[in-house]
Amino acid sequence: MKDVHDWWQRPRRVAVLVDNPSWILPYAERLVSLLEANGDRARLCRSHDELEGDVAFYLGCIRITPRAVRERMRRNLVVHASDLPKGRGFSPWTWQILEGKNEIPICLLEAVDEVDAGPVIYRDRIRFAGHELIDELRAAIGQATIDLCQRFMMEAVPLEGTPQRGEATIYRRRRPDDSRLDPNLSLAQQFDLLRTVDNNRYPAFFELRGHRYIVKIEKQGLIGGRP
């Protein structure tokens, strides 16, 4: 009799899905390259129609994957940056930075019918110093995403997750208006908002004296040898 995990032998067929023009795309491409280098057959997918194989990783996706699509795969896995079940939904690490947090949990979990509600396989944390802007934040989240996916693929057998426990909370989708600054507050008071804005796609702005003004931020360097 064949072992239930016989399919786990390399080369495994791995799909990495990004279903929108997300910032995560370069990291998804890097993950595909690393999986290929490790002996698996991996490819980047941009829609559910392309999914087939053994393992699917859903990175930065905004569309729910129907059960019929998930059933094409042996395992369906999501990376989500919150302390599940708290912080399900959209832009979890951005909302947490806005809440003043600089230690961001990140999980690898099974995709199920309900969004971000599946059993959690790994829990890890990313620690920030508090000065990082969006490119640095994304780089850390992107690398942690790659690490979790690779960790799963390096296991001797495909691990099962642990059901989530506790009360769930949901983050809503962010909108361009969420980049609004209050001209009556100081920059220091609004620095966490400035850390999370995208200068090109959704820049910070404020309205004053009948006009709207765009504010763009970039890091120039250290002052006195300190971050």
Q: Any bridge partners for residue 122, and if so which?
A: 108
Q: Between the CA of residue 201 and those of 196, 197, 204, 214, what are the distances in Å? A: 12, 8, 10, 12
From CA 97, how far away is CA 180, in angstroms rounded?
16
pLDDT at 2 over 80: no
Decide: 17 and 32 in contact? Cβ < 8 Å.
no
pLDDT at 63 over 50: yes
Query: 3-state SS of the chain: helix, strand, coil percent to 5?
Result: 30, 25, 50
Closest C-alpha to 82, from 55, 120, 111, 112: 120
Q: Between the CA of residue 106 and those of 30, 79, 88, 171, what are the distances in Å? A: 19, 7, 11, 15
Token readout for 109 is: 């979990």
Decide: 107 and 84 in contact? Cβ < 8 Å.
yes
Rounded to an integer, the average pLDDT of 160-168 is 98
Residue 146 identity (one-letter amino acid): I
Per-residue pLDDT tens over the stretch 116-159: 999 999 999 999 999 999 999 999 999 999 999 999 999 999 99
Token readout for 153 is: 């693929």
Q: What is the pTM of this model?
A: 0.94
pLDDT at 1 over 50: no
Token readout for 119 is: 């059993």
From CA 51, how far away is CA 16, in angstroms rounded?
9
List, in sequence order, the alpha helices (H) in 57-121: 67-70, 92-98
Closest C-alpha to 57, from 66, 45, 49, 67: 45
